[in-house]
Amino acid sequence: MSISTKWEKEFVKRFEKHYDELKWLYCEVYHNDMKGFYWLCDSLYGYYKERSAELKKIDREREKNPNWYSTNDIVGMMLYVDAFAGDLKGVKSKIEYLKECGVNYLHLMPLLKSPKDRSDGGYAVSDFLSVQPQLGTMADLQALTSECHKNGISCCLDFVMNHTSEDHEWAKAARNGDEEARKRYFFFDNWDIPAQFEKTVPQVFPTTAPGNFTYLEDCGKIVMTTFYPYQWDLNYGNNVVFNDMVGYMLALANKGIDVIRLDAVPYIWKELGTSCRNLPKVHSLVRMMRMITEIVCPSVLLLGEVVMEPSRVVPYFGTVEKPECHMLYNVTTMASTWHTVATKDTRLLRRQMDQLSELPKNYVFLNYLRCHDDIGWGLDYEWLSQFGISEIPHKRYLNDYFTGKWQGSNARGELYNDDPRLGDARLCGTTASLCGIEAAIYEKDEEKLAVAIDCDIMLHAYMFTQSGIPVLYSGDEIGQLNDYTYHDDPDKAADSRYLHRGKFNWELAKLRDDKETVQGKLFNSLRQLEICRAQNEVFTAEAQFHTENTENDSVLCIYREYGKQRLIAYFNFSDKEQTAYFDGLKSGTNLFTGEEVRGLMTNLKPYGFLWLLLDDNKT
């Protein structure tokens, strides 16, 4: 392919850097279809030309500082537009509040057009170029991202790439007999091949959406539907699908989206006789998408949604020479954190922190306590078995503990996708309710409330100690509780995840300045943690870290070092006071309180923590 003389030099420079590898991968995946490849290349220049001067300026700034997202001063927040502020214009009007929260990375939950009654929370997209009407328009989205950029806030948006809604124009055409449209999905005339797939492909939702295929009565065909019957899997073996989905991705980037969240990315390549998960060509496709963003919009990051065990997650970073995703979720640590709250035993958490410490420092994880989704107990049960812990009984214990059924538990949550036969239910609930704040308020027990608030703050301190980007779930900063009203909404009642997707309580948010209230105690403590983190480079992703033995299974200790700064952090996961012994005489400053610390040990109150910045003179 000859470079067009009409292409701008900046684009040509980026394009030439990646051309050979992009062409090689494309031809390998798509059987040397050069016509499709040339079409893709021409389209990339079109999207480059469409980028605004404002966005191209950001592209150039971040090209000079490609690791801009791995610093210690980034704080994320994820929110639903309607729950937070009604619509996109409402979110724009709340930017000052976001800044007050210390947020400079805003994850807008799915907002593209999808059927109200068959949306899976917005993950069944019927139009990738339109916003849900009740939330606003694409112009409103662009206005929001532009205002966010002016205030130093980057925006993240979900890109649902494994499937479309059955209401998407491609799906409608396929249903009506369009053979080209049917090639965009996986259509079958009978159950012969689907039955072969079912032998090796696991089910995602065996209780609520069993099987991986759906029979369409109106056209007498069978279509692959890995998640729900109304979400039709796309056939990425068809390069037209890849080319068009890349176009949708770049169109969103041109609306000012800084981070593209690649939803369900491990599932996008299907092959008979496999699990249809994490196949090699998935990585080929993601690598091509990485190069494409570096050509068209180099300021844009790819965030991989890989909700699997660490051995499956890490490959999505790619290699130093051929990187794939810029960032990934630290989902395993999130689940293990709540396991530790219930067991008061930090050994599993310590093991996982040490595993993370061995990874390259350019691997950036997003860390969080809660998110829009449920908590799945995908723990390392093989390792836990040495302590007499068996998977099914342990999952039942965790679910009993966090639904308040276990004696002495103050947690309040609900189960999701409960399957009594397998004992494999998952868990829903806000951070505050799972920490016991809801139960304490209901019982009017001030002592219990104080302990629950300390638990909430300690868990956030632990999250802020991890390398990567801490992400708050909207409402956690003011201790928002479970919203049980979803039971009364016929569109939501069947999905317990709406328990923690309630409307943001702006009346409670007004109390954030009153440090005598629950809201004030949490809001100001989290803000103080953010400030401490931003002011000390020892929290940067490039810092060396490891855990240290505390001789107390209820206390986790993390040591971090960067340049001349050394931090030793202790976290008490017990509801009893615990003693943390220092390995030798230690002295330094408690970053959170500013107090000087001297001695060989410190007492941690129930769910207490200590961020000890050690003195320069090593002891």
Which residues are tagged catalytic?
263, 305
> Helix H segments across 126-279?
138-150, 169-175, 179-182, 192-198, 239-253
- Rounded to whole angstroms, how far apart are CA atoms 442 and 457? 20
Beta strands 187-188 and 469-473 are unpaired
Contacts with 344 (C-beta within 8 Å, 6 or more apart), sequence order: 553, 554, 573, 574, 575
Give the CA dihedral 111, 115, 119, 124, nearest 10 degrees.
-70
Q: What strand order describes the sheet that includes 578-590?
A: 544-547, 555-562, 565-572, 609-614, 578-590, 596-604
Q: How far is CA 403 from CA 214, 342, 415, 602, in A?
A: 34, 11, 8, 33
Q: How far is CA 131 from CA 128, 135, 252, 265, 565, in A?
A: 8, 7, 11, 22, 46
Contact 260, 296 (CB under 8 A): no
Contact 350, 547 (CB under 8 A): yes
Angle at alpha carbon of residue 508, lines to 452 and 514, rounded to 5°: 75
Sign of CA dihedral 316, 317, 323, 326: positive
Q: Which residue has tokens 């802020």?
A: 464
Residue 185 dihedral angles phi and psi, to the nearest 5° = -125, -165
- Rounded to whole angstroms, how far apart are CA atoms 332 and 224? 29
- Rounded to whole angstroms, how far apart are CA atoms 484 and 587? 48
Q: DSSP string spanning 451-517? A: HHHHHHHHHHHHHHHSSSEEEEETTGGGTPPP-GGGGG-TTTTT-GGGGG-PPP-HHHHGGGG-TTS
Q: DSSP string spanning 547-592? A: E---S-TTEEEEEEEETTEEEEEEEE-SSS-EEEEEEEEEEEEETT
Outline where DSSP puts E strands in 220-314. Answer: 221-224, 231-233, 259-263, 301-304
Q: Which residue has tokens 């990874």?
A: 359
Angle at alpha carbon of residue 172, lines to 170 and 176, rounded to 5°: 115
Contact 560, 566 (CB under 8 A): yes
Q: How far is CA 295 from CA 11, 40, 265, 321, 327, in A?
A: 7, 12, 21, 16, 19
User: 115-138: b or e for each residue (b if 16 or more CB lie within 10 Å)?
Assistant: eeebbbbbbbbbbbeebbeebbee
Q: Which of 207, 251, 209, 217 is nearest to 120 (CA)?
A: 209
Beta strands 555-562 and 565-572 are antiparallel
